[in-house]
Structure 1
């Protein structure tokens, strides 16, 4: 079987160019990879405003289009969808709801979480306060302005995310658990996708037999590396090597 192509779905408010080191690391091991755009944060997309709004569903549809395009380019090549943070949520939303021809052959999820405030220290009270303010700000201003987390954020998507934080209920169909081979990377120093929120993500969305969970510890990082929620991308070789190993093992089991 051909080596896969990796489609990277970015974190909230993170542009595709940030993932250049990750794309390069995959190419160094002979795989193809590309970072997908995040609406509102790419040079060719409008910034969120009262007249430019979108939802989780719109972002999931973008992922489905990207997977379909990769399959048209090379129907024999497997497609791995690598979701980071918000991108992990969108990847699960895609696998749960899209037609099989528009879903991936495998998932790699980094910094994935159910961001319900109760999974965070001290009851996640700062998160809860922020999530409670988002609907008001979005209604009054038509978007979530800087310097708020995720800003400039689309009103609908940020309201949906805030509802997820307040209730733990995902803003997409999760009635069927994902059985796609899935590699979950939990970052040891991740203050956003803490261990309890990461484990709840797996429990809520994934068939247990489909999941391999790996904790990326700080002592395993290369020189200059980190297991921070975002900055791990700057030195991604250890993660890439583990993904390659996991995919080979998964292929042997199929």
Structure 2
């Protein structure tokens, strides 16, 4: 399948959404560059520490495939305010129970009447899978690209030990510093201590159980049945096919399509972040997957 050239003339409009008394989410809203009435809205949830603007090439490629696109800066990152600091008192529960519902509702308002697909990258996919288990979840499909469980036991031998030690050390550093200084240590950017603590627990136990959880996420996720696209990326040593299979295995969905994105597909080397910037075939793959899902009664049962 062919890819799309980047559409540099497709500009994003910024949308600010209040979440709570002091926090605001910043969304980048991209209109369709090519009209397609069947294309759903794609809501992109970024990886840890990655700002929404990094996804502009992917968003523009998706617009050329006919998708309206909304990219969300996670709380405390990019245009979302205030920035992460020692004063940050949120964790993954707030991201899943407050921020994602707000982002989905905003995307629905921007493009009324369309289905909505949540596209999660790395921790964005982990949050998206958990969000789908919530009673207020309002998503018609899920695309996971380079996103799997952080559970250390899915990795072979020494790599699993490195994942365990790395995640637990990050949590300790976050508690000691008041936030995780990823910008100083070269991983993930500055992050709220609560988010890192929850992520480290997930890596240690294999279960999504954030501090302050208001429901049993593992049980709730097992009842979800929406079309799911899973794309593993060559060169991504963190989100392996096994890690991605364990994450999607938490869902009850029987409609799972698995693809592998390789350097041969992209025409250049890939890794767990570089794929976002490559004008490859992913928009076409997502379009074909959604059309097939819709033709077979896609969306929520």
TM-score (normalizing by structure 2): 0.78
Q: Does 1:174 align with 2:212?
A: no
Distance across 1 between alignment mates of 2:279 and 2:194: 32
Q: Deviations over 1:102-151 (max 9, x none)?
A: 42111111112111112223242222112222333222211111215223
Alignment of 1:77-92 (within 5 A): 77-92=114-129
Match of 2:104 among 36, 61, 67: 67
Question: For residue 231 of structure 1, what is the aligned residue in structure 2?
Answer: 274
Correspondence 1:133 to 2:169: yes
The CA RMSD over aligned residues, in Å, is 1.7
**Separation (CA, whole Å) in 2 of partners of 1:55 and 1:231:** 27
Q: Does 2:245 align with 1:199?
A: yes
CA deviations 1:79-124 (Å, max 9, x no partner) are 111111111011111111141xx42111111112111112223242
Match of 1:246 in 2: 289
- Aligned equivalents of 1:238, 1:226: Cα separation in 2: 14
| Larger helix share, 1 or 2 | 1
Measure the CA separation in 1 of the matches of 2:293 and 2:189.
38
Q: How does 1:213-228 map to 2 (within 5 A)?
A: 213-222=258-267, 225-228=268-271
8 Å contact from structure 1 (residues 39, 59) kept in 2: yes
Contact 1:9 1:83 in 2 (8 A): yes
**Is contact 1:94-1:103 (8 Å) kept?**
no
What are the ranges of 5 or more consecutive residues in structure 2 without an aligned counterpart?
1-36, 211-216
Aligned length: 249
TM-superposed CA distance for 1:217, in Å, is 2.3
Residues of 1 paired with 2:270 and 2:251: CA distance? 24
Q: Write out per-residue CA displacement over residues 159-196 of structure 1, whole angstroms, 9 at most, x where no aligned residue.
A: 01011111111135121322111111111221110122
State how 1:1-254 maps to structure 2 within 5 Å.
2-60=38-96, 61-99=98-136, 102-123=137-158, 124-145=160-181, 146-171=184-209, 173-176=217-220, 177=222, 178-203=224-249, 205-222=250-267, 225-254=268-297
Within 1, Cα distance between the matches of 2:180 and 2:174? 5
| TM-score normalised by the chain length of structure 1 | 0.91
1:148, 1:220 → 2: CA distance? 29
CA distance in 2, matches of 1:105, 1:48: 31
Report the CA distance shift for 1:208/1:180 in structure 2 as closer, same or farther (over 3 A): closer
Match of 1:97, SS state, is: coil
Cα distance in 1 for residues equivalent to 2:46 and 2:230: 15
CA distance in structure 2 between the partners assigned to 1:90 and 1:22 by the alignment: 20
The worse-fitting range, judged by mean Cα deviation, of 166-175 and 192-201 is 166-175
